[in-house]
Amino acid sequence: MTSGALRTTSAGLPGSADPLVTAYDLAVLDLDGVVYVGPDAVPGAADALARARTAGMALAFVTNNASRPPQAVVDHLVRLGVEAHLDDVVTSAQVAARMLADRLPAGSPVLVVGGEGLRITLVENGLRPVGTMDDAPVAVVQGFSPDMTWRLLAEGSRAVRAGLPWIASNLDMTFPTPHGPAPGNGALVGAVAAAAGRRPDDVAGKPAPGSFHEAARRNSSTRPLVVGDRLDTDLEGAVNAGMDGLVVLTGVSTASDLLLCSRAVRPTHLGRDLDALHVAHPAVDPQDVDGRTTATSGGAAVAADGDVLSVVRPGDDALDLLRAGCVAAWTVVDAGRTPDVTGVLAALAALEPDAAWAR
């Protein structure tokens, strides 16, 4: 399996002369913050994905939310007008269950610190989900559930203290809701870890590469593109999986996150939303202009004066300004320093004062 071979090893953005729907054969899509937020679709997402399928791009929906079985994810997507099938969905619960099935004898009891999504996929993989230590589990699996109780966390802590192998579906510290971030599975795992005195033995979901590789395997993809809104899970996972990544600005990560990010979480492409799949993306590289490292995208140009970023030209497109700002900032980050990005953020806010991401 190979990616689109566009990922850059420099501080630049490699761009794509072709629309991403033709440059890649598969979009590996995060859900929360990309396709929907809570129960509601991101505006325009269903139409953008339908056009991507029509253009010949396969779609896979990869989620770290282990609380729902794949059919529930499919049903949610269909209600929002997004075509989806069971094989299109890869959950962290599925990856965790497969990891356990590869390590344990068939029929082994596994303590589930989580919800229905984990229990169903354990059964599908030949294992027996249990809810207490009285059932003599041989391993522990923990995933997000909005119905998590103190008693279940306490039972998980008891099992982990006893030394049972412990797999977490994911370590996302927050979970997106229409009212803002709420505690995610990482926070709940932290509660068990604090009580038990150790961390999980393994993590199934993003940013580990397993979910991305599973999506590519199912679709026989040779040119997958990861699409996400979070640098610390989606884009770090893309880097770990050796795949190119598109970050969209409809979810968690903001302009300041992008400007200050390290190579470990750095995207290949930037877009406002899923319409970014249908356009070419400019290549942006740092250049030496009058003794300053300067990056230009469209009508926007940003220079690095030492560690301070200066907006040479804001242009009229906030996304071009963000691209130029990122490339200029990354030259400072890659030198081991922290850039002062206040001028870029002020210019972005002036161009798009109502955009939540422009901060």
Cβ–Cβ < 8 Å for 132, 87: no
The 10s digit of each residue's pLDDT in 101-118 is 999 999 999 999 999 989
Tell me, rounded to whole angstroms, the distance of Cα 265 from its chain centroid.
10
- Range list for CATH 3.40.50.1000 in the chain: 20-64+207-278, 93-203
The 10s digit of each residue's pLDDT in 300-346 is 999 999 999 999 999 999 999 999 999 999 999 999 999 999 999 99
Is 275 in the active site? no
Q: What is the pLDDT of residue 323?
A: 98
Separation CA 221–CA 232 (nearest Å) = 24
287-289 vs 292-297, strand pairing mode: antiparallel
Compute the half-sphere exposure of residue 356: CA atoms within 13 Å on the CB side of its CA.
8
Which H or E element spans position 111? strand 109-113
* Residue keyed to tokens 């880097």: 239
Separation CA 241–CA 344 (nearest Å) = 31
93-203 has which fold?
Rossmann fold (3.40.50)
CATH annotation of 20-64+207-278: 3.40.50.1000
pTM for the full predicted model? 0.88
Separation CA 346–CA 311 (nearest Å) = 10
Is 87 in the active site? no
Catalytic residue among 30, 172, 232, 320: 30
Tell me, rounded to whole angstroms, the distance of Cα 297 from its chain centroid.
25
DSSP state of 105: -
Catalytic residue among 18, 25, 32, 305: 32
pLDDT in 10s for each residue of the chain, 359 residues: 334 445 554 689 999 999 999 999 999 999 989 999 888 999 999 999 999 999 999 999 999 888 888 999 999 999 999 999 999 999 999 999 999 999 999 999 999 999 998 999 999 999 999 999 999 999 999 999 999 999 999 999 999 999 999 999 999 888 877 788 889 999 999 999 999 999 999 999 999 999 999 999 999 999 999 999 999 989 999 999 999 999 999 998 999 999 999 999 999 999 999 999 999 999 999 999 988 999 999 999 999 999 999 999 999 999 999 999 999 999 999 999 999 999 999 999 999 999 999 98
